[in-house]
């Protein structure tokens, strides 16, 4: 046994992972699973039948469906009913049953359970079985800290301030404006979304550790507060630097656009995608379309089925759109697009995966935001990292075109591009031997091995 390589020894230990079934949560969990597998652990993925993962892309993992929560077995990104199942405790019995079976396996001891932070009920199940549970928080450190202060922000009345206060600074988080905090989408700390976040924060604090898809140099200033708010072992790893998210895509990724990208001038294309869940009104949709045309830059726009409220797909677009200069696809191979030399800017909804994927490829951003952590990420990218411009006053065609040209054509763009290049370099260095992320990976592996 002593002379076997470390990975072979560890392959006799299993990690059970349980992602929340949404694209922005599935991708980082699978990236982490691949990373831990590459370090020698066996992996079992527990999943729901709603948005079930494509198991054939992962022949090296074991899969177990534990929650029959969707009678129609849908594999679709968005479902209103799905909001409910995060809130309920009904799944605890199914999970306990499955974990008991898995943990009693003699050949391969189970080291720990790693679940999405929002599956907060899993902590009590893990406790009842004496199984350590680590948490994967799929947002930034910054927004995790803001979320842990929601009761305080509520007590200070921020969520109910009227519109005359929107541009004011939040005293407790001077980086943020009142409108950023209001856009999270919470009305009071008693509404169901706030309760969910409250439970998530509480159960993360009692977990055996927290893993973020991030890196130290990106959120250095936030890290001082973490030991106070989350006094558990902490690990920051920028997953896109280790594994692409494409193999866990729930939708087929359109790769036919790569030859089109190949024909575009270097750093000229606006890549537009608002993630897997956000939706716009038809009026906003048309403003985006006209803004892209007015910008006179080539563009690649991801319009998901269901992106436009009360509309199936593209029927409301003006005749002749997108014309010669643009392409519209239903779902892109985002990593390939961001890594392509023709891509000059990413207009994003500021979901955390998209934000970090852009940073890891050194692509500057135009930041929009809809709800949740997105307004916090957008503010951070524009005012702290300064690798993006925040379109914070809604979607108007003239402003859209002007921001695109500011980044791709004007001198201001050179400065933002340079900062994006430097930040990418920091991410690259962090994963090199001795770098902060590389050390975080090694510490995590040692920690799990010690459990």
Task: Name the residues annotated as catalytic.
Answer: 25, 116
For residues 302 and 273, give the distance between their C-alpha atoms in angstroms, rounded to a whole number.
5
What does the DSSP assignment read for 341-394? Answer: TTEEEEEE---HHHHHHHHHTT--EEE---STTHHHHHHHIIIII--EEE-TT-
Closest CB to ligand UDP among residues 42, 334: 334
- Angle of helix 352-360 versus helix 23-38 axis, rounded to 10: 50
CA 161 to chain centre: 29
3-state secondary structure 308-334: ECCCCCCCCCCCCCCCCCEEEECCECH
Is the CB of 22 or the CB of 159 nearer to ligand UDP? 22
Distance CA 230, CA 227 (A): 5
Q: 144 vs 273, which CB is nearer to ligand UDP? A: 273
* Residue 22 falls in which region: left (phi positive, over 0), alpha (psi -120 to 50) or beta: beta
Q: Please give the Cα distance from 19 to 10 (Å, whole number).
A: 23
**Angle, CA 336 vertex, CA 242 and CA 220 arms, to 5°:** 45
Instruction: Output the CA–CA distances (angstroms, integers) from residue 6 to 40, 188, 291, in the order listed.
Output: 8, 50, 55
Q: How far is the CB of 139 from ligand UDP (least distance, A)?
A: 8
CB 346 to ligand UDP: min, Å: 10
Q: How many residues comprise the chain?
A: 451
351 versus 435: smaller Cβ distance to ligand UDP: 351
Tokens of 43: 């992996």
Q: How far apart are the C-alpha atoms of 287 and 290, rounded to whole Å? A: 5
The distance of closest approach from Cβ of residue 251 to ligand UDP in the complex, given in angstroms and rounded to an integer, is 7
CA distance 229 to 287: 41
- Placement of tokens 């849908």 in the chain: 74
Site of interaction with ligand UDP (CB under 6 A):
23-24, 27, 245, 249, 253, 273, 275-277, 302, 331-332, 334, 351-354, 357
Identity of the residue, 210 or 302, whose beta carbon is nearer to ligand UDP in the bound complex: 302
* Dihedral of the alpha carbons of 428, 432, 436, 441, in degrees to the nearest 10: 110
Residue with the shortest CB distance to ligand UDP: 24
User: Phi/psi zone of residue 73: left (φ > 0), alpha (ψ -120 to 50 degrees), beta?
Assistant: left
Nearest to 375 by CA among 143, 52, 167: 143
In the complex, what is the shortest distance from the CB of residue 354 to ligand UDP, in angstroms, rounded to a whole number? 3
- Minimum gap (Å) between residue 361 Cβ and ligand UDP: 11
- Least distance in angstroms from the C-beta of 40 to ligand UDP: 26
CA dihedral 252, 289, 380, 418 (to 10 degrees): 90
Q: Which two three-digit tokens encode residue 250?
A: 């729930």
Would you say 204 or 276 has its CB closer to ligand UDP? Answer: 276
Q: Which is nearer to ligand UDP, 352 or 390 (CB)?
A: 352
Q: How far is the CB of 121 from ligand UDP (least distance, A)?
A: 21
């Amino acid at each position: 046994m002593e002379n076997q390589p470390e990975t072979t020894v560890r392959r006799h230990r299993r990690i059970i992972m349980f992602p929340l079934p949404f694209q922005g949560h599935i991708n980082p969990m699978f990236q982490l699973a691949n990373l831990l597998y590459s370090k020698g652990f066996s992996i079992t993925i527990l999943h729901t039948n709603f948005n079930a993962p494509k198991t054939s892309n992962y022949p090296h993992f074991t899969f177990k469906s534990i929650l029959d929560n969707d009678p129609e077995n849908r594999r679709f990104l968005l479902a209103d009913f799905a909001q409910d199942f995060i809130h309920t405790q009904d799944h605890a019995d199914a999970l306990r049953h499955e974990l008991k079976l898995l943990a009693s396996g003699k050949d391969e001891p189970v080291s720990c359970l790693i679940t999405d932070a929002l599956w907060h009920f899993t902590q009590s199940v893990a406790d009842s079985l004496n199984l350590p549970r680590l948490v994967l928080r799929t947002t930034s450190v910054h927004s995790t800290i803001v979320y842990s202060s929601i009761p305080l922000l509520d007590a200070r009345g921020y969520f109910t301030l009227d519109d005359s206060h929107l541009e004011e600074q939040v005293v407790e988080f001077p980086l943020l404006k009142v409108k950023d905090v209001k856009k999270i989408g919470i009305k009071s700390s008693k509404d169901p979304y706030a309760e969910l976040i409250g439970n998530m924060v509480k159960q993360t604090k009692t977990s055996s550790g927290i893993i973020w898809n991030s890196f130290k140099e990106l959120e250095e200033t936030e890290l001082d507060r973490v030991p106070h708010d989350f006094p558990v072992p902490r690990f920051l790893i920028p997953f896109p630097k280790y594994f692409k998210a494409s193999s866990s895509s729930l939708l087929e990724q359109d790769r036919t656009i790569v030859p089109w990208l190949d024909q575009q001038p270097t750093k000229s294309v606006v890549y537009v995608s608002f993630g897997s869940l956000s939706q716009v009104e038809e009026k906003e949709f048309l403003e985006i379309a006209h803004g892209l045309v007015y910008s006179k830059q080539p563009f690649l726009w991801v319009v998901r089925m269901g992106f436009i409220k009360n509309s199936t797909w593209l029927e409301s677009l003006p005749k002749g759109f997108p014309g010669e200069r643009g392409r519209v696809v239903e779902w892109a191979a985002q990593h390939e697009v961001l890594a392509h030399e023709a891509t000059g800017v990413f207009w994003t909804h500021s979901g955390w995966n998209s934000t970090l994927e852009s940073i890891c490829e050194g692509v500057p951003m135009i930041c929009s935001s809809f709800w949740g952590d997105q307004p916090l990420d957008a503010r951070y990218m524009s005012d702290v990292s300064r690798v993006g411009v925040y379109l914070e006053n809604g979607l108007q065609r003239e402003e859209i075109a002007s921001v695109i040209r500011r980044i791709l054509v004007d001198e201001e763009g050179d400065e933002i591009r340079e900062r994006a290049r430097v930040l990418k370099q920091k991410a690259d260095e962090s994963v090199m031997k001795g770098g902060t992320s590389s050390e975080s990976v090694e510490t995590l592996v040692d920690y799990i091995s010690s459990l």
